Amino acid sequence: QRPAGIDVVSEALADLYRRCRDLDQGEVADYIPQLALADPDCFGLALVSMDGHRYQAGDSRTGFTLQSVTKPFVLALALAELGTDPVGRRVGCEPSGEAFNAISLDPVTGRPANPMINAGAIAVTALVPAADPGERFARILDCLGRFAGRRLEVDEAVYRSEAETGDRNRALAYLMRGTGALAGDPAEAVDTYFRQCSVRATVEDLAVMAATLGNGGVNPVTGEAVVPEPVAVQVLAVMATCGMYDAAGEWMLRVGLPAKSGVSGGLVAVAPARFGVAVHSPRLDRVGNPVRGVAVLRELSERFGLHLMHNP
């Protein structure tokens, strides 16, 4: 006997898929050449509830590199290992109102605005405690896998493509060493960050990852406590204010859920204590957020009254 809610959720996802699949505005990111090879029409949705039920629609099993969607999960690892203050000394928690790749560091503290933009994410990646860069990335990959509930892998072609074209991120890392925001060697930090961005997963994996954050850090499918509950709460708070780059305010106005997007078209959002949801669709709007993903979440939030400020 399946709970009655299951059909409601499956039907809602199927309906959102049908209603949004013809949206063809936006462009596939091409500044990392390998990303330009993505099928612009690929479109998958997945949702995982706090009791571990999994729902999906569309191309939910297509693998893609997670890119910036890894940022909240690596932030969770750094916060769990080091605590709030040591992380906060290197990176702020204010929405930047600027592009994800902005070259902007606070003139007084030298810190990047927040861990959801590239500069802040590179600083956070470098903070993950490890004896050497190999071990650091191994810990990051292991942590992403525990959030997803299965071991994930790196897409080597995307990694190489990113390493070949990532001079802007390299420049950010060197600038941050100058201001004191970056621990360790800039070249190593950026290399680890490129590998992290090139971790491959499906939208079904991403929904489990999001649900784990919404479930106080406990993976609702495997039952593993991946990060402590206060860390999950902090990460959701940073996602809510900073996760959608320079559209974070508009997102909070219209959707009202913690979320994070990435340039390969992935998007996760969390309804705390309810579910994690993920969408994959490679066409991006002008700030780099996926057009169909934003449309799906707007509709989902409106239809089910999910906005966090909503009084149910």
Active site residues: 68, 71, 193, 245, 263
In whole angstroms, how close is the CB of 175 to ligand GLN at the nearest point?
15
Selected binder of ligand GLN within 59, 162, 191, 246 (CB under 6 A): 162
Residue 67 binding ligand GLN, by CB under 6 A: yes
Nearer to ligand GLN, 158 or 221 (CB): 158
Q: Which residues are annotated as a binding site?
A: 68, 118, 162, 169, 193, 245, 263
Do residues 284 and 28 lie in contact, with contact meaning Cβ atoms separated by under 8 Å?
Answer: yes
Q: Which is nearer to ligand GLN, 68 or 219 (CB)?
A: 68
Which residue, 10 or 104, has its beta carbon nearer to ligand GLN? 104
Residue 159 sits in the site that holds ligand GLN (CB under 6 A): no
Among 49, 56, 68, 241, binds ligand GLN (CB under 6 A): 68
- Count Cβ atoms within 10 A of the Cβ of residue 4 and give its class: 0-12 exposed, 13-18 middle, 19 or more buried: exposed
Rg (CA), the chain: 18
Pattern 3-42, ligand GLN, x by CB under 6 A: ----------------------------------------
The correct pick among 58, 145, 149, 288 for binding ligand GLN (CB under 6 A) is 288
Of residues 163-182, which lie at the interface with ligand GLN (CB under 6 A)?
A: 169
* Phi (first) and psi of residue 75, to 5 degrees: -60, -40
Annotation: binding site for substrate: 68, 118, 162, 169, 193, 245, 263
Site string for ligand GLN, 183-222 (x = CB under 6 A): --------------x-------------------------
- Which of 262, 265, 276, 290 binds ligand GLN (CB under 6 A)? It is 262
Shortest-Cβ-distance residue relative to ligand GLN: 68
CB of 263 to ligand GLN, least distance (A): 4
Q: Which of 34, 101, 114, 301 contacts ligand GLN by CB under 6 A?
A: 101
Q: Which residues bind ligand GLN (CB under 6 A)?
A: 67-68, 100-101, 118, 162, 169, 197, 262-263, 288
